[in-house]
């Protein structure tokens, strides 16, 4: 497939998904990003995501993986004018992390209306950096070190699979994965949330949390506290989860475009913050095997498939 055709295909998917959410999709906003990252598109994992709940405005985010080894996505975003250069530590975070941690690949996160938001760096799954390595990186927010105990105490000190850097909100996400046995038990989760200064969730949310394959916090540079924590569950049937599914999320889970024949791969997230809980949903649009297997989501997907077969 030629590059233009691939761009058209991905653009159409973004446009179709936007339509499900009443988000206005314009070629003017999306095309420049697809063009700047067109070399990555054919082999990219592409995720289409939405969030719901109070304080979340209607938006469709698209995530595209970008291979390691070339120009990093932050530099590309700067040189294409998608974001402005800044003196804030958020601007050096990606390169500082790369110097010290084994980055296996990147991704970008872009809002159809809000524009370029984030970069991600994911790590080699057999060589994950420790929290201590991460907190030693100069531009990492102090809040990561402040809250590291809540994870280290429960066996997650060496389980950082990915980081996300949000240039618009000036926040960083730290993703924990390959979760060891026992770390999702209610008493562990309650202790972890207490250490983070976050309220205890409902019984139903605790049940949901036990199905997580990844846990991630969001922190900024202005506070020692975590802003929020998200528990992500991999599913192919969002309605089967012990969670509230708002009609628009249910509709998105059922209808988001996907470029493979099997049932959609979905990641449903419950986000807890001092002001309450909201949900988000990511639907995988394409998952080329060679790229997908670099992500922890792939391992979680395989584990789940093995469990389901074992149950039969
Ligand atoms: C979720 O972060 C992460 C993704 C959609 C990225 C998946 C990663 C790949 C490399 C394919 P989020 O959108 O829930 O976080 P935030 O709250 O910062 O928006
Ligand atoms: Mg998001």
**Ligand 2 centroid – CA 174 distance (Å):** 13
Distances (CA, A) of 149 to 191, 214, 226: 11, 18, 13
Rg, C-alpha atoms of the chain: 18
Residue that is written with structure tokens 């192919």 in the block: 236
Mutation probe of ligand 1 site: the residue of 117, 122, 256, 280 with most atoms within 8 A of C-beta:
280
**Better pLDDT: 231 or 244:** 231
Q: What is the largest CA-CA distance in the chain?
A: 56
Q: What is the pLDDT of residue 311?
A: 59
Q: How much is the average pLDDT of 124-149?
A: 97
Q: Note every long-range contact of 287-293, with CB atoms under 8 Å and residues 24 or more positions apart, other chains counting.
A: 287/45, 287/260, 288/42, 288/43, 288/44, 288/45, 290/43, 291/43, 291/44, 291/45, 291/65, 291/67, 291/105, 292/45
Q: Which ligand is nearest to the CA of 172?
A: 1
Q: Is 8 in the pocket of ligand 1 (CB under 6 A)?
A: no
Among protein residues, the one with the nearest Cα to ligand 1's atom 13 is 49
Q: From the CB of 177, is ligand 1 less than 6 Å away? A: no
Q: Is 49 in the pocket of ligand 1 (CB under 6 A)?
A: yes
Choice between 3 and 67, residue whose per-residue pLDDT is larger: 67
- For residue 3, is pLDDT > 80? no
The pLDDT of 210-234, averaged and rounded, is: 98
Q: Please name the residue whose Cα sits nearest to atom 4 of ligand 1.
A: 63
Is the distance from the beta carbon of residue 48 to the nearest atom of ligand 1 less than 6 Å?
Answer: no
Q: Is the CB of 119 under 6 A from ligand 1?
A: no
Mean pLDDT, the chain, rounded, equals 96
- Residue 2 pLDDT more than 90? no
59 in contact with ligand 1, CB cutoff 6 A: no
CB of 294 closer than 6 A to ligand 1?
A: no
- Report how far ligand 1's centroid is from the alpha carbon of 87 (Å): 25
Contact 269, 234 (CB under 8 A): no
Query: What DSSP character marks residue 36?
Result: H
268 alpha carbon to ligand 2 midpoint, in Å? 12
Q: Ligand 1, closest atom to CA 267?
A: 5
Full-model pTM: 0.97
Extents of the domains making up the chain = 3-311
pLDDT band of 28, cuts 50, 70, 90? very high
Query: Would residue 225 be called left, alpha or beta, if left means φ above 0 and alpha means ψ between -120 and 50 degrees?
Result: beta
CB-ligand 1 contact for 122 (6 Å cutoff): yes
Q: How far apart are CA 81 and CA 225, in angstroms?
A: 32
Q: At 294, list the tokens.
A: 């670099």
Ligand 1 atom closest to the Cα of residue 269 is 14
What's the rounded mean pLDDT across residues 269-285?
A: 96
């Amino acid at each position: 497939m030629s590059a233009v055709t691939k761009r058209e295909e991905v653009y159409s998917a973004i446009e179709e998904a936007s339509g499900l959410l009443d988000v206005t999709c314009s070629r003017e906003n999306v095309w420049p990003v697809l063009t700047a990252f067109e070399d990555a598109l054919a082999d990219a994992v592409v995720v289409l995501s939405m969030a719901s709940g109070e304080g979340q405005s209607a938006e469709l985010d698209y995530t595209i993986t970008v291979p390691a080894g070339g120009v990093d996505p932050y530099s590309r975003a700067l040189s294409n004018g998608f974001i402005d250069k800044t003196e804030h530590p958020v601007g050096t975070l990606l390169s500082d992390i790369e110097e010290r941690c084994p980055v296996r690949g990147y991704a970008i996160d872009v809002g159809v209306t809000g524009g370029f938001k984030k970069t991600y760096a994911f790590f080699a799954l057999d060589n994950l950096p420790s929290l201590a390595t991460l907190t030693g990186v100069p531009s990492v927010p102090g809040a990561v070190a402040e809250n590291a105990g809540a994870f280290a105490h429960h066996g997650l000190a060496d389980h950082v699979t990915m980081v996300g850097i949000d240039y618009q909100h000036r926040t960083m996400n730290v993703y924990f994965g390959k979760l060891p046995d026992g770390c999702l038990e209610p008493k562990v989760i309650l202790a972890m949330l207490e250490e983070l200064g976050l309220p205890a969730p409902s019984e139903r949310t605790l049940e949901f949390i036990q199905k997580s394959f990844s846990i991630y916090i969001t922190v900024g540079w202005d506070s020692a506290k975590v802003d929020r924590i998200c528990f992500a569950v991999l599913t192919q049937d969002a309605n089967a989860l012990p969670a509230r599914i708002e009609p628009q999320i249910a509709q998105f889970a059922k209808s988001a475009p996907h470029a493979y024949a099997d049932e959609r791969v979905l990641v449903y997230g419950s986000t807890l913050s001092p002001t309450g809980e909201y949900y988000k949903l990511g639907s995988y649009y394409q998952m080329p095997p060679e790229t997908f297997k670099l992500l922890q989501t792939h391992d979680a997907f395989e584990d789940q498939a093995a469990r389901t077969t074992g149950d039969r």
